[in-house]
Each structure stands twice: as C-alpha cells, then as structure tokens.
Amino acid sequence: MAGEAAREEPVEAAETAVDLRREFEESGVKAVLEELDRTLVGLAPVKRRIREISALLLVERARRRLGLAHEAPSLHMSFTGNPGTGKTTVALRMAELLHRLGYVRRGHLVSVTRDDLVGQYIGHTAPKTKEVLKKAMGGVLFIDEAYYLYRPENERDYGQEAIEILLQVMENQRDDLVVILAGYADRMERFFASNPGFRSRIAHHVDFPDYGDGELLAIAELILERQGYRLAPEARAALERYIPRRRTQPHFANARSIRNALDRARLRQASRLFETAEGPLDAAALSTLSGGDILASRVFGLPEERIGDGEGGS
C-alpha cells in the first residue's frame, strides 16, 4: 500500500522545440496555400503576403506552445483592388487558414455590404449590424465596398452607428472575429482617413493588382475547364483579341468580366447548335466553343476608335 501511495503519475515533459515545417504540413496550411495557387491565376504579391501572414501565425502558435512571451496578433485586414481580382476568394482561403491554425473557431466567411448592416430608419441599424456580427462570430466578416458604410453628405445616414458597433467588436472580440474591409484602393484610403478607428485596427493591408492579358486568358481556360468546355484553336485566337479590347471599355471587372463573356459565348454556342445541328451531337461538339461564338461579341462590332465609349460590351 505504501509503495502504491508513493507511486506518482509520470509528468509529461514540456515541449522544448517545434518543427515548423512539420507544423506547416500537418496543420493543413500547406494544402490551403497549394489550393490557392491552383485556383487563382497570377496575384503573386497577394499570395506572397498570405504566405507571410501564415508564417507569422505559425510562429506565434509555436511560441505559445513553448511558453514564450507572446501576444495574440491583430488579424483584421484590408483588401484593396478593382472588382474581379480575387478578393472574396482569398478571404475564403484566409478564413480556412485561420481556422486550421486555431485563430478562429469555425472558419466560415460571412460576406456583406452596407445594405446588410445599415438600416433606413432610427433603431434599425443596431439590430441589423448585431445580427450580422452574431452570424460571423468564430469566423471572418468580409465587408465589400466598406467605404459606403458612412455617407457624410446625407444628414439622415445611419452608417456611423454601424461603424461604432463594428469598431467596438473589432477591439473587444478580436480573438473570436476577424474583419476584412474591401474595396477600391483610393476610396478605401479616403475612408481610413475619415475613420481613423478602422485604420488603427487594421494590421494587414493587401493590394490586389489587375490581371494582365495572358493571365486573363489563363483564367478563361481554367473557368472553361471547370465547366467541361474547351476553346477551339480559332476561338482561343479570338479570345486573345477580345481581352485587350474589352479591358479598354468601361465597367471592366477583370476575371468577373471574362466569366460573363464566356457565359454569353456559351449561350451563342447553344443557339448555334440548336439552329444548325442536323443529327446527333457528340460530346466534343457540345463542349467546344468556336471562333464565331467569341467573335459575335459586340466588342468586335465597335469601330477601333470607339472602343472604350459607352457601356462595356461582351
């Protein structure tokens, strides 16, 4: 009995070292970053910044495990760039990264705009904003075109109330919610200048560059591959001509505009097949866009000197 009483449970030795490379792979961060590379064309500076943030979080987690002095990093972010440059997609991956590393509980993304947060009459804004925050807790709240939150030119605008609630939550519950503000770079800069509370809480500013012509062509082929379509050689040549023309027109939205153009090309293909097919069609015929499907775009119907006038064509 005395011997049993003296027996002590073995004490687990504290960790004295952490293999960061192993943590990188076993946490799933490596897989998420690889998926980001596969699904997003270009954006080298954005991907580099996301890798840097991931490395910082891995190191901070390792320091905590070793009992070293550490401070929970501020993770609120600003994504700036033109439409269609992948901001929402990267926000989704960031939510997954933060979850895998233990910085958010759930890892989901809630994407909103001003209309989801700001009410139209007294007493309406606070409940709307708090309901959105409740849904986003444990994950990432993505606010697109965040500069529309407050319109100082409108004396009856209730956006300032939403801003004050957001700022309070960003400060007091930053261990359970990450906020990403997104929009055009110049407008976001003016927004931060007039709302210093946001600027002081944003730790990471990530700028999303526009895509080049070659990158947009690669995006088009990637979209079609996912949809089970392909470009005939003459269609690819036509798309190479289409992209620089479309980029000069108003309302161009990078990958979003290319996706819309391909959707319309598929409509033309479907109409062409329905009107001209005289017998059974094989998989290749049903899955191939022709040069005419691309060249029928209004972009090619405009005189060269008028490209850029009027509404963007497709």
Residues 192 and 281 reside in one and the same domain: no
Residues 106 and 232 reside in one and the same domain: no
User: Of 156, 185, 208, which residue sits at a domain end?
Assistant: 208
Alpha-carbon torsion (91, 225, 33, 25), positive or negative: positive
Distance CA 271, CA 18 (A): 60
- Into how many domains does the chain fold? 2
- Scanning the chain, the segments in alpha helix (DSSP H) are 2-6, 20-26, 29-39, 44-65, 87-100, 114-117, 125-136, 159-172, 185-194, 196-201, 213-227, 233-247, 255-276, 283-287, 291-295
- Residue 66: C-alpha distances to residues 113, 125, 225, 286 (Å): 41, 44, 46, 59
Whether 10 is covered by a domain: the verdict is: no
Residues 110 and 203 reside in one and the same domain: yes
User: Of 208, 227, 242, which residue sits at a domain end?
Assistant: 208
Whether 36 is covered by a domain: the verdict is: yes
What per-residue confidence (pLDDT) applies to 64? Answer: 84
| 36 closest CA partner among 131, 130, 100 | 100
129 phi/psi in degrees, rounded to 5: -65, -45
> 212 and 205 in contact (C-beta within 8 Å)?
no
Residues 195 and 238 reside in one and the same domain: no
Residues 201 and 54 reside in one and the same domain: yes
Whether 170 is covered by a domain: the verdict is: yes
Distance CA 200, CA 283 (A): 56
Q: What does DSSP say about strands 109-112 and 204-208: parallel, antiparallel, or unpaired?
A: unpaired
Residues 139 and 234 reside in one and the same domain: no
Residues 199 and 293 reside in one and the same domain: no
Residues 187 and 227 reside in one and the same domain: no
The radius of gyration computed from the CA coordinates of the chain, to the nearest angstrom, equals 25
Residues 64 and 97 reside in one and the same domain: yes
Whether 312 is covered by a domain: the verdict is: no
Distance CA 248, CA 312 (A): 9
What per-residue confidence (pLDDT) applies to 189? Answer: 94
What per-residue confidence (pLDDT) applies to 289? Answer: 97
Distance CA 248, CA 209 (A): 16
pTM: 0.84
Distance CA 310, CA 301 (A): 13
What per-residue confidence (pLDDT) applies to 14? Answer: 57
Whether 2 is covered by a domain: the verdict is: no
Residues 48 and 125 reside in one and the same domain: yes
Residues 195 and 240 reside in one and the same domain: no
Distance CA 3, CA 20 (A): 43
Say which CATH number the domain at 244 has: 1.10.8.60
Distance CA 158, CA 171 (A): 21
> 94 and 140 in contact (C-beta within 8 Å)?
yes
Residues 259 and 286 reside in one and the same domain: yes
Q: pLDDT per position in the chain (314 positions), as tens?
A: 445 555 555 544 456 888 888 888 888 889 999 999 988 999 999 999 999 999 988 888 888 888 887 677 889 999 999 999 999 999 999 999 999 988 899 999 999 999 999 988 888 899 999 999 999 999 999 999 999 998 777 767 788 899 999 999 999 998 899 999 999 999 999 999 988 889 899 999 999 999 999 999 999 999 999 999 999 999 999 999 999 999 998 899 999 999 999 999 999 999 999 998 888 999 999 999 999 999 999 999 855 434 333 334 55
Helix (H) or strand (E) holding 182: strand 178-183
Determine the structural domain holding residue 270 and report its residue range.
213-306
User: Of 208, 229, 248, which residue sits at a domain end?
Assistant: 208
What per-residue confidence (pLDDT) applies to 233? Answer: 97
Whether 257 is covered by a domain: the verdict is: yes
